[in-house]
Structure 1
Amino acid sequence: MDLNLKDKVVIVSGGAKGIGEGIVKVLANEGAIPVIIGRNIADANKVVDNMLGAGYQSFAVQAELSSPEECKKSIQAVVDKFGKIDGLVNNAGVNDGVNLEHGSYEKFMASLHKNLVHYYLLAHECLPYLKKSSGNIVNIGSKTAETGQGGTSAYAAANGGRNALTREWAVELLKYNIRVNAVIVAECYTPMYENWIKSLENPEEKLKEITNTIPLENRMTTAEEIANMVAFLLSEVSSHTTGQLIHVDGGYTHLDRALNKTQ
């Protein structure tokens, strides 16, 4: 199926690693021009160089996403380079463990800026160009907003905000034919996830315990599987889909956890 993404300029925040890198690779393979925006320009340039070396197009812009000024400058840099923006994938963020019992106002607010506020800032700066292209927005979210996780109040709150903004923007932008959807992630194996697993006392045992609770095939979701859904939602193939929170999680969020005992 041709997703008709050739030469579409798509911004991917946090596209240098993990799920973001997976999204960049899939978009490039579909003929789009993924633009990575994030803090670590060295990591971003490595991904871009790999894409260019494989014959694809890609670009990177450095920005501290918690800064409104840098968000604005980064979008202007993309427009200066390509003259347009066809899509935005809000992906950057970190599950930083700011909890209720031992957290603080300062830590909570800083986490919201790292995990939610820049979703708004980038969308706000992209909007004039998305109106011209009738482009699309895809927000990456986490199951923590629905299931809770324990010990991560700020991240859970941020993801609740991502879900709400997805629905709100879908309504507000109907008049511009801009579709807005979210892909909700549960257990996806990324370098960051691997580092967390390795920090535990019995990492292999803990990983097995987690995968046993994932109903479909008892395995982690891959970054490529998340990316495939993102590409679909950015494309014309999903032309009547908006305001949706789509879980790519092997049934983890909604199916009965007792299933792992009966399979």
Structure 2
Amino acid sequence: MDLQFKDKIIIVTGGAKGIGAAIVKLLAQEGAVPVIVGRDESDNMKLVNEIQNIGGNCFQVTAELIKPESCAIVVEKVVNKYGRIDGLVNNAGVNDGVGLETGDYEGFMLSLHKNVVHYYLMAHFSLPYLKLSQGVILNIGSKTAETGQGGTSAYAASNGARNALTREWAVELLPYKIRVNSIIVAECWTPLYESWINTVPDPEQKLFEIKAKIPLENRMTTTEEIANTAVFLLSERSSHTTGQLIHVDGGYVHLDRALGK
């Protein structure tokens, strides 16, 4: 299937590792020009070189997105280089454990900047160019907005906001034929996930218990599986899909997790 991505410019925040990197790689394979946005230039360049070595095209912008001015600078650099933006993937964020009991005002507000404020700002600054291209916005979200998790109020609030913004933007941007969707992730194996699980007393047992609760095949979702759905939603083949929260989670959120036992 031709996804009609040739030379399209797609910004991917948090694009150097994990889910973002998987999306970047698949976009490049499909002929798009993904723009990796990440805080570590060496990580960004490692992936740029990997893609270029197999004949793909890619670009990177080093930025710390919790700084509002950085979001404007990212868009400016992309437009200065390519003159257009065809899609935006809001993906950067971290489950930073700012809870109700353990958190405070400063931590809560910082977490919102890490996890949702830059979603808004990246879309805001990209919008004039997305209007011209009738482009696409894809937000990557988390099950925490729907299931709760405990001890992570700020991250859950951010993901609730991501879901709400997806629906709000889908409505607001209808006149411009800009589609907006979200992928909701549950248990996906990423470098951040691996780092977290290695902090618990018995990582192997904990991972076994988590997998046992995932109805489909009792296994973690892969970053490639997230990327497959993401790239379809970004493509012209998904031309009449907007305002959707699509769960790529092995049934974790909506199926009875007792099925996995």
TM range (shorter): over 0.9
1:219 deviates by 0.5
Q: What is the correspondence of 1:123-134 to structure 2 with a 5 Å cutoff? A: 123-134=123-134
CA distance in 2, matches of 1:119, 1:107: 18
CA distance in 2, matches of 1:116, 1:19: 17
Answer yes or no: is 1:215 the counterpart of 2:230. no
Deviations 1:29-81 (A, max 9, x none): 11110001121111011111110111000000011101221110111000011
For these two proteins, the number of residue pairs brought into alignment is 261
Answer yes or no: is 1:86 the counterpart of 2:81. no
CA distance in 2, matches of 1:49, 1:93: 24
Q: Tell me the percent identity.
A: 70
Q: TM-score, normalised by structure 1?
A: 0.98
CA distance in 2, matches of 1:258, 1:212: 9
Deviations 1:149-208 (A, max 9, x none): 000000000000000000000000000000000000000001111111111111111101
Structure 1 runs, 4 residues or longer, greater than 3 Å off: none
Q: Which amino acid aligns with 1:104?
A: D
CA distance in 2, matches of 1:137, 1:180: 5
CA distance in 2, matches of 1:68, 1:191: 26
1:16 deviates by 0.6
CA distance in 2, matches of 1:239, 1:130: 15
Query: Where in structure 2 are there 5+ consecutive unaligned residues?
Result: none
- Partner SS state of residue 258, structure 1: helix
Answer yes or no: is 1:4 the counterpart of 2:4. yes
Q: Which amino acid aligns with 1:185?
A: V
2:238 aligned residue: 238
Deviations 1:106-137 (A, max 9, x none): 00000000000000000001000000000000
Deviations 1:10-37 (A, max 9, x none): 0000001111111101111111100011
Q: Which amino acid aligns with 1:204?
A: E
Task: Give RMSD over aligned pairs.
Answer: 0.6
Q: TM-score, normalised by structure 2?
A: 0.99
Q: What is the correspondence of 1:131-146 to structure 2 with a 5 Å cutoff? A: 131-146=131-146
